């Protein structure tokens, strides 16, 4: 959805909860980050709950920190020939660029100090 980005629903029968995970994002280290809303069974209108991602609402975001050591992490990933990083490196080579010449701010253009 436009406001909540990529989202998914999770049913927790044991805790009697319906969870909405949204703004799902994989960081540069491969860890998944997301925000979450929980709805108790029997509370609220089910249709309204399922419409939540598509309703007009305030834009949401989450805080991310710039990894100051991202350049050495990338260098290490290339050394061990990790497929994701090797693919990005190959794409940059095609344009005459190189991952090893990038700075931390190149990897985090959306993060402001």
pLDDT attached to residue 52: 87
Which DSSP letter does residue 26 get?
E
Report which of 60, 2, 67 is spatially closest to residue 35, judged by C-alpha positions: 60
7 three-class SS: strand
Percent of the chain scoring above 90 in pLDDT: 53
pLDDT attached to residue 1: 57
39 three-class SS: strand
Q: Is pLDDT above 90 for 98?
A: yes
Band the pLDDT of 23: cuts 50, 70, 90.
Answer: confident
- pTM here is 0.69
Band the pLDDT of 108: cuts 50, 70, 90.
Answer: confident
pLDDT attached to residue 79: 95
Which DSSP letter does residue 14 get?
T
């Amino acid at each position: 959805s436009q406001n909540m980005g990529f989202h998914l629903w999770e049913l927790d029968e044991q805790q009697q909860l319906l969870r909405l995970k949204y703004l799902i994002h994989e960081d540069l280290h491969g860890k998944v980050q997301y925000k979450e809303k929980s709805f108790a069974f029997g509370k609220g209108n089910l249709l309204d709950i399922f419409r939540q991602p598509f309703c007009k609402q305030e834009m949401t975001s989450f805080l991310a920190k710039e990894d100051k050591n991202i350049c050495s992490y990338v260098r290490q990933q290339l050394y061990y020939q990790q497929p994701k990083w090797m693919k990005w490196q190959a794409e940059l080579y095609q344009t005459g660029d190189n991952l090893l010449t990038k700075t931390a701010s190149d990897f985090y253009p959306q993060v402001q100090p």
